[in-house]
Amino acid sequence: MRGEYKVAGGKLVAVDVEVEDDLLSSVAISGDFFLDPDDALADINNALVGMSTAADVAAYVGAIEAAVSDDVTFIGFSPESVAIAVRRALGHATSWSDHTFDIIHSNPVHPAIHVALDEVLSGEVAAGRRGPTLVFWEWDAPLVVIGSFQSVRNEIDEDGLRRHGMMVVRRITGGGAMFMEAGNCITYSLIVPTSLVEGLSFERSYSFLDDWVLGALKSVGVNATYVPLNDIASDKGKIGGAAQKRFASGLTLHHVTMAYDIDADKMLDVLRIGREKLSDKGTKSANKRVDPMRSQTGMAREDIIDAFIDHFAGLHETRRSDFTAQELARAAELAETKFLTPEWTHRVP
């Protein structure tokens, strides 16, 4: 059996394995990576022979690290990437090529519906009623979407919120607040089986799932990079950020929001952005933190989204889709019973 893993920003690792009595009886690692000294490759192969096919990534990594000396240098790959390739060969992990992705870019809906749809669609993908899905948000009301663990009191200026006729919705993923008016951001949700990020830490899975959008940004003229833990930036500053949640059902929800054309003064009037957070970003004012996609590309927001969809479709098997009537009805029910309730919104006061 064969498995492959492309390291984000690194090299391809391939592994061919043979199995006997639920043990690895033969392991052959190859790829376009660099390894010094090169005879360490045999040590890595031998370290995995005899291990259980049920072992997890951590067990394989431990075996590799125990088998190589401290002077061995992995360049463009790591013991972790070898372990993930082994898990893929054994069918425990999947790659992008194993899936066909639904792409949804639909009509605007209430922002609370979008937050609810994240939960609904995750359930649909887990149940096999829908394939892995990429959704681009369109919403019809201004709002602040706060992270699952953020304090409303600490993040939101209630007077500013009322002045600008905005609302607050708490999402199910962590991360920071998103200041959103119609057309001012590009936001998408990527809902995938957790098998796609098998063996990756949360930090590593962010860069892995964001890798495609870096190429999409390049296609519209933005030279972007991933900045740990969850930011996307260009040489002109931060573009956006990501958030993520892994479900016990075996699904991972990954969000990204990128600034397109944000009214920074209004944002400052609504959000409580502390000096410490600003200094962490290397700036003295929130205006400098906002780095709109509009100014860097000169493109309409709709054209950028179309370019993103085209780029994703050029990399992976996709099909255009839309929300079903049942999904929208379930999301509307969840919005009323959960996401618009004070109990949920203010669960962290």
Question: pLDDT digit string (tens) for 295-310?
Answer: 999 999 999 999 999 9
Provide the pairing of β-strand 178-180 with 167-170: unpaired
Instruction: Check whether 182 has a pLDDT greater than 60.
Output: yes
Number of structural domains found in the chain: 2
76 and 114 in a single domain? The answer is no
- Write the single-letter amino acid at 37: P
Q: Count CB atoms within 10 A of the CB of residue 272.
A: 14
85 and 108 in a single domain? The answer is no
Alpha carbon distances (Å) from 13 to 79, 92, 317: 10, 16, 22
Of 70, 92, 114, which marks where a domain is finished?
92
58 and 154 in a single domain? The answer is no
115 and 41 in a single domain? The answer is no
Domain carrying residue 60: 2-92
Q: What is the chain's length?
A: 349
179 and 293 in a single domain? The answer is yes
Q: Taking residues 337-341, what's their average pLDDT?
A: 97
43 and 115 in a single domain? The answer is no
42 and 146 in a single domain? The answer is no
168 and 69 in a single domain? The answer is no
Question: pLDDT digit string (tens) for 216-239?
Answer: 999 999 999 999 889 999 988 889
CATH code assigned at 13: 3.30.390.50
| Exposure of 341 in the CB half-sphere (CA atoms within 13 A) | 11
121 and 49 in a single domain? The answer is no
Contacts of residue 302, Cβ cutoff 8 Å, sequence gap at least 6: none
| Exposure of 74 in the CB half-sphere (CA atoms within 13 A) | 21
Question: pLDDT digit string (tens) for 79-110?
Answer: 999 999 999 999 999 999 999 999 999 999 99
71 and 104 in a single domain? The answer is no
Which tokens belong to 161? 């919120």
113 and 222 in a single domain? The answer is yes
76 and 102 in a single domain? The answer is no
Of 38, 66, 92, which marks where a domain is finished?
92
Question: pLDDT digit string (tens) for 136-150?
Answer: 999 999 999 999 999
- 344 exposure class (CB count in 10 Å sphere: 0-12, 13-18, 19+): middle
Let me know: does 24 contact 85? Beta carbons within 8 Å. Answer: no
- Cα pseudo-dihedral 239, 322, 140, 137, rounded to 10: -10
What is the per-residue pLDDT for 334? Answer: 98
Of 92, 108, 143, which marks where a domain is finished?
92
CATH code assigned at 217: 3.30.930.10
Least confident interval from 103-117, 266-280, 326-340? 266-280
Please state the pTM of the whole predicted model. Answer: 0.88
